[in-house]
Amino acid sequence: MLSAGRLTAARVERRHVGALGVAVVALAAAPFVLTSYPLSLLTLSLAYGLFAFGLDLAWGRAGVISIGHAAFFGVGAYGIAIAAKHDVSLLLAVPVTVVLAMGVALAVGLAGLRQGTSPSTMAVLTLALTLLVDQAARSLLSLTNGSNGLYVGSGGIVGTYYDVAAVVLGTVTVVWVVALRGRFGRRLLAVRVNEVRSQHLGVDPQRVKITAFVLSAAVAAVAGMIAAPVVGLVAPGMAGVVMSTQVLVFLAVGGRGSIAGAFLGAALVTIGQEYLGAAIGSWYLFVVGVVFVLVVRFAPGGLTGLVTARLRRPVEQAAAQGAVIPVPVAEPTGAPHPPPDRARDDGTPALEVRGLVKSFGAMPVIRGIDLTIARGEVVCLIGPNGAGKTTLLNLVAGDLPPTAGQILVDGRDVTHWSPHHRATLGLGRLFQTPSIYPELTPAQNLALAQAEAHQSVRLPAELSRFADVDDVLTTDLSLADQRALELALTIAWGPEIVLLDEPAAGLSHADSTRLAHILRSISRDLGCTLVVVEHDMDIVKQLGDRVVVLAEGRVLVSGDMDSVSSHDEVRAAYIGAV
Ligand SMILES: Nc1ncnc2c1ncn2[C@@H]1O[C@H](COP(=O)(O)OP(=O)(O)OP(=O)(O)O)[C@@H](O)[C@H]1O
């Protein structure tokens, strides 16, 4: 029997297909019911809708801000106009123009979406780009005819309408089916909902965002190409900052992250401009500006967001994402993770840090740590508050760059590797505050991790239970269940080494004991190496093969619980302090 969540997903899927069918029928019928003027407005709305859909791939789906997207739209429009002027075949002009737009987007994306760059970098770069393309269109007179622009003939409104509708439907369908419903769409969703969790599951957020930006530029260029004959005159304004702002308004009003939203926003603003603009003149832009501010402030999901919030429960909205998330399975199939194989152990430590130093400004926090952790070992890191335990985990996981020293995972020097690159060696991580995918169900969380799996794992029953929980969102779970889910998706991903930061924090005694039991079974049955930062001494006693005490950024002592707790310096530095 299908679970409630999967039934909801199937229903949402049916609705999507139904909506697509209605759109196709409505588009095909339009020339028979509309006179030529509304039909030309609809044609223009479709072209602008595709432009907004292109922007949505970057802004709505990947969270990449582009405030100069008309640069790509303009490149597309000029590509067609210049080709028409010089009688260049469309078969040549179209791919060359799209590749040019994608090349420019790649250069901008590589510069603006590098790890560590702030989101505003992309805003500044794309703004500069739209100004640059606008200026180039004004200055390159022999190519673009400057401010006067280039005329592009259209073959009559009905013919143009059908051409436009066909290209729009074709482009949207190809992008939807090939990109958004596949692995790329799943990664887009994962990175948008929780970038940090995704990179610790081995997903490269920069690559995903840059790909989305390049794809969005290609779609914007295609939109520019089909807009050129509809508008008739290709002028610098088509690539300029006003056009770039307008498409942001289309999308914000219609609703990001939704195909319908992009087209609805474009249609409302375009048609509104024709009818309302005639009545109130330039005040129309003022009205649009006010609507934009109101939407951003009061309805960040735009009109489609308002409607779906009314029509769908949150879990149904999560199910709507189901198209790009593989169907979760209650009992993951495939070979179980191999148990600890000491014979395989060639003596290479699972983890090694050498002379590790980390300072924040002038303040040293990690002051030269040397630590070796064997394969399959369970090491508990303890120490007083501020000793540097979390910082050490952050350094090992790649979430912080060290000031000096070396980090080796399975014998490989990963000191300068990004978190997602380290994850490819099987390095998994849990956080003090559970890092899961909040807008999705537990089953979808688990499925996302399984889809990116480092290796196939048979989960313990206490963790595999989440594969069936698809009728609530993770935000509705108790803290204990959120922690268990974070552990479940990390283990389902198939790590070799797991870094856990205070996994028992905030849990009741019973939940902590259950957690310790699960962690022990993960170590015993799956052979994972565990590095656990923990304050709860009961957990430490139950769990640790070895206890490492940190104080003031140094290893004070390392050994079994008894020897460590009888150590004078430890008593002074830690046990006396709690
Ligand atoms: N990003 C940062 N910038 C500046 N200082 C930081 C940063 N992160 C940590 N610190 C400082 O580094 C020191 C060690 O912090 P850390 O969180 O590693 O300690 P901890 O041993 O995990 O403590 P706790 O048990 O309270 O979690 C603290 O003094 C903290 O204020």
> CA–CA separation, 286 vs 83, rounded Å?
37
| Spacing, Cα 389 to ligand 1 middle (Å) | 8
Q: 360: CA distance to ligand 1 center in Å?
A: 10
391: CA distance to ligand 1 center in Å?
6
According to the model, what pLDDT value does residue 332 have? 47
Which position has the higher pLDDT, 322 or 203? Answer: 203
- Encode pLDDT of 243-291 as tens digits: 999 999 999 999 988 888 999 999 998 888 888 877 887 788 788 888 8
pLDDT in tens, 112-164: 998 778 888 999 999 999 999 999 999 999 999 999 999 998 777 888 899 99
d(CA 417, CA 405) in angstroms, rounded, equals 14
Q: What is the predicted pLDDT for the residue at 19?
A: 83
Q: CB of 388 closer than 6 A to ligand 1?
A: yes
Residue whose CB lies within 8 A of the most ligand 1 atoms, among 380, 385, 391, 536, for a mutation test = 391
Taking the centre of ligand 1 as the mean of its atom positions, its distance from the CA of residue 392, in whole angstroms, is: 9
User: Which atom from ligand 1 is nearest to the alpha carbon of 550?
Assistant: 21
Task: Give the count of alpha carbons within 13 A of 536, CB side only.
Answer: 20
Please say whether the beta carbons of 436 and 197 come within 8 A: yes
Mean pLDDT of 178-202: 91
What pTM, to 2 d.p., does this model score?
Answer: 0.88
- Pocket of ligand 1 contains residue 391 by CB under 6 Å: yes
Q: Which residues pair with 412 in a beta bridge?
A: 409
Determine the angle formed by the axes of helices 259-280 and 283-298, rounding to 10 degrees.
150
CB 381 within 8 A of CB 388: no
Q: Which residue has the higher pLDDT, 79 or 274?
A: 79
pLDDT at residue number 343: 44
Nearest of 451, 439, 428, 424 to residue 332 by alpha carbon: 451
pLDDT tens readout for residues 454-480: 988 888 888 989 988 888 889 889 998
* Residue nearest ligand 1's atom 13 by CA: 386
Q: Answer yes or no: are the C-beta atoms of 561 and 379 closer than 8 Å.
A: no
Classify residue 305 as left (phi > 0), alpha (psi -120 to 50) or beta.
alpha
17 — pLDDT class (breaks 50, 70, 90): confident
Q: Which residues contact 222 (CB under 8 A, 6 or more apart)?
A: 50, 54, 76, 98, 167, 171
Residue 18's pLDDT is: 86
More confident call, 255 vs 71:
71
Question: 385 alpha carbon to ligand 1 midpoint, in Å?
Answer: 8
pLDDT confidence tier of residue 1, bands split at 50, 70 and 90: very low
CA 465/CA 540 separation, integer angstroms? 26
> Does the CB atom of residue 215 touch ligand 1 within 6 A?
no
3-state secondary structure of 476: helix
Give the orientation angle of helix 241-254 with respect to helix 119-139, to 10 degrees: 130
The span from the CA of 237 to the CA of 239, in Å, is: 5
The pLDDT of residue 235 is 96
Angle of helix 205-231 versus helix 90-112 axis, rounded to 10: 140
User: How confident is the model at residue 317, as a pLDDT?
Assistant: 66
Take atom 24 of ligand 1 and give the residue whose Cα is closest.
Answer: 385
The pLDDT value given to residue 324: 56
pLDDT for position 563: 82
Mean pLDDT of the chain: 88
Mean pLDDT confidence for 496-501? 96
In terms of average pLDDT, the best of 21-35, 175-189, 216-230, 263-277 is: 216-230
Any ligand 1 atom below 6 A from CB of 383? yes
- Which whole number is the average pLDDT over 212-240? 95
Packing angle, helices 205-231 and 157-174, rounded to 10: 170
pLDDT digits (tens, 9 = 90+) for 293-314: 888 888 888 888 888 877 766 6
User: Measured in angstroms, how far is the CA atom of residue 193 from the centroid of ligand 1?
Assistant: 26
Ligand 1 pocket, residue 187 CB under 6 Å: no
- Give the mutation target among 356, 363, 389, 399 for probing the ligand 1 site: most ligand atoms within 8 A of CB: 389
Q: What is the ipTM of this complex?
A: 0.96
CA distance 249 to 291: 9
Where does the pLDDT of residue 578 fall: very low under 50, low under 70, confident under 90, or very high at 90 and above? very low
pLDDT band at 565 (very low <50, low <70, confident <90, very high): confident
Amino acid at site 441: T
Residue nearest to atom 1 of ligand 1 (CA): 360
Question: How much of the chain, in percent, has pLDDT values that exceed 90?
Answer: 58
| pLDDT mean over 435-439 | 92
- The closest-lying atom of ligand 1 relative to the alpha carbon of residue 432 is 27
Two tokens, residue 468: 């069936």
Asked if residue 386 has its Cβ within 6 Å of ligand 1, the reply is: yes
Report the pLDDT value the prediction gives residue 321, as an integer from 0 to 100. Answer: 61
Question: How many CB atoms sit inside 10 A of residue 296's CB?
Answer: 14
| Mean pLDDT across 499-524 | 90
Q: Distance (Å, rounded) from C-alpha 119 to C-alpha 111?
A: 12
Whether the per-residue pLDDT at 342 is higher than 50: the answer is no
Which one, of 344, 429, 444, lies nearest residue 390 by Cα? Answer: 429
